[in-house]
Amino acid sequence: MKTRYSERPPLEAPGRLSTARSTGTDRAGAIRLLYRLQALVALLGIIVLAIILSPRAADGSNIFLEAGNLTDILRQVSVTGIIAVAMTFVILTAGIDLSVGSTLALGTSVVAIGLTRWSVPLGDVGRISLAIIAALAAGAAVGALNGAVVAGASIQPFVVTLATMIGVRGLAKWLTDNANIDIGFGQDVAAVFAAFISRKVVVIGSLLVMAAVFWLVLDVTVFGRYVRAVGDNERVARYTGLPIARVKIWVYTLSGLLSGLAGVIYAAENHQGNPNAGVAYELDAIAAVVIGGTSLMGGKGSVSGTVVGTLILGILTNVLRLNNVDSNVEMMVKAVIILLAVAVMSRRKSE
């Protein structure tokens, strides 16, 4: 059978390998590193500000820097952070996923239903695993649907995921009869699930693991490079024979999968399946991605930037709350900061 052209070995013997980053190129590399670090610099700056502005406890210690507070912040941003990590991939393909909040709600509902209404002859671990897998599968299914329509029917992602956002919300509400499904504090399997998954270690660990995995995938895999390529210039990608449809279906599926995961964590933390959860979460996720330096037009961006963006938003909110700023003022300040950050980033790029 004729081997595919893209996988045939080259005819020529390889030449000498020159050192990849030789002197004289270091300057260009260094400058690019500095651009990347710009988001980090902004993060460090916000941390410094937070330390300065933090109130002090009765014993004089800095409240912001307390281990408990810092882990609080990480916990508070984990759910939207997980969604944002996957959203990075979607936006890198010049797409967008507005349905993540609704999928999160679906995830909370499915896992809660699985834990409280399914009677399966498995042990606690088995039942919990089954419920979680069901929620993840539901999220992935929504994502796959999004991806298939975006790739197959050539409808703009904004429109497709807008429709899914509405439809999936309806599905979640229908599954739960529009009610919340309480997960109690007792000894039943649902309570065990909630007690375990809502632990800070698990929640924060999930965010870190997902961020690390996606970071790696984007950086070193073929799929990761294809994701950026499709977003950079889809026409060129088509002319180069890249598997565009497959890439798109996968990025949306991953987005749905991680939204489902976020839903599982949400259900554990809130001790309920809630079909009304996650409203406007897509905006928080997109804000984090954008502040982190990923361009909405695709092709340029990173997972590390998204993590930084998520942290910036979380720390900002924490600083304001520690100072008991009115929550409405809080929203306005956040909006201004987001605009400032994006303005700075985009002015740099247009040069």
Partner 1 sequence: MANRTLALLLGTQFLLLTACHSSAPGPESDQKQLFVAFSQCNNAEPYRAAQNALMTELWAQYPDVKLVIADAGQDDNKQIAQVETFIREKPDLLIVAPNERAPLTAVMGQAVQSGIPVICLERDILEPNYTTYISADNRDIGRMAGQFIVDYLSKKYGRPQGNVVQIKGLLGVEAEIARNDGAHDVFARYPGIKIVNDAVADWIQAKAKDRMTEALRANPHIDVVYAHNDPMAIGAYLAAHDLGREKEMIFVGVDGLGGPNGGIKKVMDGILAATFVYPLCVDKAVEVGNRILRDRNFKPDKVYTLHSTMITQQNAAEAYGQFTFTN
Partner 2 sequence: MTTTELLRAESVIKRYDGVAALRGANFSVANGEVHALVGENGAGKSTLARIIAGATRADSGRIFFEGNEVSISSPLDAQRLGIAIIFQELDLFPHLTIAENIAIGNLKLERQAFVRRRELDLWCQPFLDQVGALDSPRTVLANLPIAHMQLVAIARALSLDARLILMDEPTSSLSDDAVERLFATVNRLKQGGVSVVFVSHRLKEIFRICDTITVLRDGSTIGTKTTQSTDANEIVTMMAGRPLKDRPIAKRGVSSDVLLSVSQLTTGRIQNISFDLRRGEVLGVAGLVGAGRSELGAALFGLRRLVRGRVQINGQPVEISSPRAAIEAGVGMLPEDRKLQGLMMQMTVLENSSMAVLPRYQSWGIIRRKKELVAMEAVHQRTALKAASPDVPVSTLSGGNQQKVLLAKWLLMEPAVLFLDDPTRGIDVAAKADIYETIHAAASRGMGIIFVSSELPELLQCCHRIMVLHEGRNAGILEGAQATQESIMALATATAPALSGQSGLPA
- Which one among 1, 12, 68, 119 touches partner 2, defined by CB under 8 A? 12
CA end-to-end span of the chain, whole Å? 50
239-258 residues in contact with partner 2 (CB under 8 A) are 239-243
Task: Find the shortest distance in angstroms from Cβ 15 to partner 2.
Answer: 4
Nearer to partner 1, 248 or 271 (CB): 271
- The rounded distance, in Å, linking the Cα atoms of 337 and 171 is 36
Residues forming the site for partner 1 (CB under 8 A):
34-35, 38, 41-42, 45-46, 49, 53, 55, 57-58, 63, 66, 68-69, 72, 76, 79, 178-180, 182-185, 198, 266, 269-272, 274, 277, 316-330, 333, 336-337, 340-341, 344, 347-348
- The rounded distance, in Å, linking the Cα atoms of 166 and 101 is 10
Residues 6+ apart with CB under 8 A from 251: 86, 89, 90, 92, 93, 95, 147, 227
Q: What b/e sequence results for 125-137 when a residue is b if at least 16 CB atoms lie within 10 Å of its CB, and e otherwise?
A: eebbebbbebbbe
Tokens of 232: 């950079």
Per CB under 8 A, 29 contacts partner 2: yes
Stretch binding partner 2 (CB under 8 A), from 8-16, 104-112, 115-123, 126-134:
8-16
Task: Find the shortest distance in angstroms from Cβ 269 to partner 1.
Answer: 7
Task: Find the shortest distance in angstroms from Cβ 133 to partner 2.
Answer: 23
Stretch binding partner 2 (CB under 8 A), from 24-32, 40-48, 201-209, 279-287:
24-32
Amino acid at the residue 346 = S
- The rounded distance, in Å, linking the Cα atoms of 118 and 112 is 10
- The rounded distance, in Å, linking the Cα atoms of 236 and 298 is 14
- Which one among 11, 58, 67, 280 touches partner 2, defined by CB under 8 A? 11
Binding mask 293-332 for partner 2 (x = CB under 8 A): ------xx--------------------------------
Q: Work out the number of other CB atoms within 10 angstroms of the CB of residue 94.
A: 17
Nearer to partner 1, 226 or 266 (CB): 266
The half-sphere exposure of 47 on its side-chain side, counting CA atoms within 13 A, is 13
